[in-house]
Amino acid sequence: MSIKRENINQLFSLLQKKYPDPKTSLNYRNTFTLLIAVLLSAQCTDKNVNNVTKKIFKQYYRPSDFVKLGVQKIKKLIKSIGLYNTKAKNIYNLSKQILHKYKGRVPNTFDALYELPGVGRKTANVILNEAFQKPTIAVDTHIFRVANRTKLACGKNPDEVEKNLHKVIPKKYIRKSHHQLLFHGRYTCKARKPLCFECMINKFCKFKNKTKL
Ligand code: SF4
């Protein structure tokens, strides 16, 4: 059985109280560097990405900077990050595309973002949400888990969960719900041992194996 509509409202008003102004933990200095940071964060922790980008973004923060660098130098800069070969090529190619097709500005539509090298559905939605304040939800592993466990929006894959979340979350909560669900999954509804005994949305959650103290 899924969560009742009226309880969904309450659930998000509680998450809203706990995380009133949630933001990404990735460091960036403009929309373009946010895009680079999100791209680097695939299969890598935000902390690792921040360690690497701390030095890079001081000097390089525009598409033209990365086009000038070229793939080999980008590889050297990001070599401590997983999948750096592919990521370096994508960073170079998307910088070129943004520079020539969009005059150096990151586009603000899903289709245009999704067309960029290395940008998938999740990355496009993160950029739209974080940089352009659009009501998108980028379903990552945390959101996927929370949505399925609570039965807020079940689905076999991230796309299905994303579609179902949009159906049930009240409009006024959608934009912030992205980070609120993500943080709830990261800090409370943890993968291995969820902290159900201290979970603020416990009474609405339909998870069968809730943990006790
Ligand atoms: S009650 Fe447990 S399973 Fe349900 S959302 Fe909270 S932490 Fe997750």
**How large is the average pLDDT for residues 158-181?**
96
> What is the rounded distance in angstroms from the CA atom of residue 130 to the CA atom of residue 23?
7
Find out whether the beta carbon of 149 lies less than 6 Å from any atom of ligand 1: yes
Residue 212 — left, alpha, or beta (φ > 0 → left; ψ -120 to 50 → alpha)? beta
CA-nearest residue for atom 4, ligand 1, is 205
Model pLDDT for residues 65-116, shown as the tens digit of each residue: 999 999 999 999 999 999 999 999 999 999 999 999 999 999 999 999 999 9
CB atoms within 10 A of CB 202: 16
CA distances from 179 to 67, 83, 141, 189 (A): 32, 25, 12, 14
What local confidence, expressed as pLDDT, does residue 4 receive?
Answer: 87
For residue 121, the CA-to-ligand 1 centroid distance in Å is: 26
Which burial class, exposed, middle or buried, applies to 181 when counting CB atoms under 10 A from its CB (0-12, 13-18, 19+)? buried
The whole-chain average pLDDT of the chain stands at 96
Find out whether the beta carbon of 106 lies less than 6 Å from any atom of ligand 1: no
Map out the domains of the chain with their CATH numbers: 5-22+136-204 (1.10.1670.10), 31-132 (1.10.340.30)
140 counts as catalytic: yes
For residue 210, the CA-to-ligand 1 centroid distance in Å is: 7
pLDDT band per the 50, 70, 90 thresholds, residue 120? very high
**How large is the average pLDDT for residues 60-67?**
98
Q: Which of 89, 83, 78, 82 is nearest to 117 (CA)?
A: 89
203 counts as catalytic: no
> What is the rounded distance in angstroms from the CA atom of residue 113 to the CA atom of residue 131?
12
For residue 18, the CA-to-ligand 1 centroid distance in Å is: 15
Find out whether the beta carbon of 189 lies less than 6 Å from any atom of ligand 1: yes
Q: What is the pTM of this model?
A: 0.92
> What is the rounded distance in angstroms from the CA atom of residue 58 to the CA atom of residue 61?
7
Model pLDDT for residues 15-30, shown as the tens digit of each residue: 999 999 999 999 999 9
- Ligand 1 atom closest to the Cα of residue 185 is 8
